[in-house]
Amino acid sequence: MEIKQCRFVTSVADSKNIKDYGMPEIAIAGKSNVGKSSFINYMVNNYGMAKTSSTPGKTRLLNYFEINKGQFMFVDLPGYGFAKVSGEVKDSWDDMIGGYLLGSKRLINVFLLVDVRHEPTSLDKQMVAYMHHYQIPFTVIATKCDKLSRQACMKQRSVIASALCLGNENVIFVSSQAKSGKEEILNRINNLLDIYKQ
């Protein structure tokens, strides 16, 4: 498959207001600043599509991007684990992520992004436990691979996989900056869409 077209659809500030757009949804989740919005831009080949920032906490809403005129939707989620927000704001973000994950009618997979350089945090582990608990299928993607040598990436693969109780082969590597890893992700999306159609 190929991503030929992407259109920003809407931002949602409250998970109570999420709608069914009639197409499968792939959500992009992960810690703040891990590169979620950059990942979407890389996948759709438009670096102005989703807003990115070097300051964590940029994405505060659920942002929907329609791919290939209705083939599927990428949903950019606010990042979790951003220490600088107050308790109240943090709760509303968590409500938004949880509210979306349980409320979406067509969520087919969560792409859980982790920074290749760091061992997954307790929040990443909580996220995985949450998805297991609610039987939400997910894919782990290690971002910013340009920051490490190939050898160091391979080493991190085991660190990330074992922290999240996955096999090494279940961690996909990408770099939105060096533009690597897209083919593997597209294959994954293709498989997910095939399963959805059955």
Three-state DSSP state, 100: helix
Alpha-carbon dihedral of residues 74, 19, 128, 37, nearest 10 degrees?
30
**Binds ligand GTP (CB under 6 A): choice among 5, 53, 122, 190:** 53
In degrees rounded to 5, what are phi and psi of residue 74?
-90, 135
Nearest to ligand GTP of 104, 143 (CB atom): 143
In degrees rounded to 5, what are phi and psi of residue 76?
-85, 120
Look up residue 41 and give its two tokens: 């831009």
56 binds ligand GTP (CB under 6 A): yes
d(CA 25, CA 57): 22
37 binds ligand GTP (CB under 6 A): yes
d(CA 92, CA 90): 5
**Binds ligand GTP (CB under 6 A): choice among 57, 61, 71, 90:** 57
Nearest to ligand GTP of 140, 191 (CB atom): 140
Nearest to Mg ion of 37, 156 (CB atom): 37
In angstroms, the Cα distances linking 33 to 58, 100, 115, 126, 144 are 8, 20, 9, 18, 11
What does the per-residue mask of binding to Mg ion show for 42-71, with x meaning CB under 5 A?
Answer: ----------------xx------------
- Contact segment (CB under 6 A) with ligand GTP among 57-65, 97-105, 126-134, 183-191 equals 57-65
Nearest distance from C-beta of residue 6 to ligand GTP, angstroms: 15
- Binding interface with ligand GTP (CB under 6 A): 32-38, 52-54, 56-59, 79, 143-144, 146-147, 175-177
Binding site for Mg ion (CB under 5 A): 36-37, 58-59
